[in-house]
Structure 1
Amino acid sequence: MSEYVTHESLLSVVGTVERAGGTRRLEVRLPADSDASFPVGDVVRVVLGGSEHRARVDQTADGTPVFRGAYDTPSQARDPGAATNRLGEWVEDVGLEAGRSVHVDVVEAEFKYGVRAPGADATYESTGRPDPGLADIAASLDDE
C-alpha cells in the first residue's frame, strides 16, 4: 500500500524558471548550494501538478543543476527528440514565466522530486526507490 506525504513534511528548496540559453524554452534551475542533492546526468522522477514524469538532471555552463524538461518515459527524458515537454506545459498552465521562483520538494533524495508554484500545496505518493538490481535491468531494457 502506498504512503502519501505532503510538501510540509519534506525538504523544499527554491528553484527558478529561466530561459534555456537564448531559446524560448523554459527550464527550472535548481539551487546548487542547498541541502538537497540533484544527481547530474541521471533521470529522476518529477511530479508536476499531481502527474509523475521523468526528467534528466542536466547542468548549466556554471555547474547549476537544471531540469530542462519533463517527459512521459525515461527514454524520452534521455533523448527528448519530438517528445512532449510536460515541464513547458505545466509552467504555462500555472501561469509562470522566466524569472519566477518555484518550490522543489525532495520526495526521495536523488530519485523523486515535486515542483510546485509558490503558494501551492502538494501531496506526493511515496513509492520508495526500486531495488537496484531491478532498476539496472529496467535501464538496460530501456536502452535496447
Structure 2
Amino acid sequence: MPDRIASDNPAVETVTATIGRYGRTTRPQIELPDGDADRFPVGEVVRLVLDGTEYRARIEERGGAPVIRGAYETPRLARTPGEGENQLVSWLDGTTLDIGRSVYVDIVEAGYAYGLREPGTTAYYDATEKPSDSLADIARDLDG
C-alpha cells in the first residue's frame, strides 16, 4: 500500500487559487496563481485529486495565467474534454465553493500531481513521484 501524505505535510506546498468563469459561461475554472512554469506547466496533463479520487486535468492558459478547466477519468479525455464528464463541476457542486471564492491547490509533485480542497479542510494524497522523462514519453506515445 502506498504511503499517504496530508495536505499539511511540509512536503506539500499549498497555494491559493480562485474559482472563475470560463469565458462568458457559467462553467467554472480554477485560476491558478501566476508563477514559474515548473509548478504549473501549461499544456501538460497532470494528476488532480478531488476528495480522494484521482483524475487527469490539462493545465491551460488564459490571459497569460494558468487555469484548470476540468478533471477527467483519463489523460485522453483531459486532452479532448468534450468527450467526457467534467468531474471538476461535480466536485464543486458538492462543496460550499462558488465563482469568485478561493480554493486551495496542493502541489503534491510540481508538474505532475495536485489536489484541490476547500479552505479549512485537510486532504490526503498517495505519495507519488513523477516518472522519468523517458517513461513519460513512452506513456504519451501509447496514450496518443
Q: State whether TM-score is above 0.5.
A: yes
Distance 1:81 1:98 in 2: 22
Whether 2:29 is the aligned partner of 1:5: answer no
Q: Deviations over 1:5-43 (max 9, x none)?
A: 111121100001111010111010000047972000000
Task: Say whether residues 1:65 and 2:66 are aligned partners.
Answer: yes
Secondary structure of the residue aligned to 1:127 is coil
Matched AA of 1:44: V
Question: How far has the Cα of 1:95 moved from its partner?
Answer: 2.5
C-alpha RMSD of matched pairs (Å): 1.6
- Deviation of 1:141 after TM superposition, in Å, equals 1.2
The corresponding residue for 2:21 is 19
Partners of 2:107 and 2:92 lie apart in 1 by 19
- Give the alignment partner of residue 50 of structure 1, picking from 42, 49, 52: 52
User: Alpha-carbon deviation of 1:3?
Assistant: 1.8
Q: Give % identity.
A: 46
Q: Distance in 2 between matches of 1:34 and 1:134?
A: 24
For structure 1, the residue ranges without an aligned partner over 5 or more in a row are: none
Using the TM superposition, give the Cα deviation of residue 46 of structure 1 relative to its aligned residue in structure 2, in angstroms: 0.5
> Are the equivalent residues in 2 in contact too, given 1:48–1:116 (CA < 8 A)?
yes
Aligned to 1:75: 76
Q: Please say which of residues 28-37 and 117-126 is displaced more in the overlay.
A: 28-37
Alignment of 1:36-47 (within 5 A): 37-47=39-49
The aligned counterpart of 2:32 is 30
- How many residues matched? 142
Q: Give, in whole Å, the separation in 2 of the partners of 1:33 and 1:111.
A: 16
Deviations 1:62-97 (A, max 9, x none): 211100000000000011123100001101111211
Supply the distance in 1 between the matched residues of 2:38 and 2:6 (Cα, whole angstroms).
17
Q: Which runs of 5+ in 2 are unaligned?
A: none
Say if 1:114 and 1:36 are closer, same or farther in 2 by CA, change over 3 A: farther
Q: In the aligned structure 1, how far is the partner of 2:134 from the partner of 2:68?
A: 26
Matched, 1:111 2:112: yes
Q: Which residue of 2 aligns with 1:122?
A: 123
Select between 100-109 and 35-44 the one with higher mean Cα deviation: 35-44
The residue identity in structure 2 corresponding to 1:109 is: A
- What's the TM-score once normalised by structure 1's chain length? 0.93
Distance 1:119 1:36, change over 3 A: farther
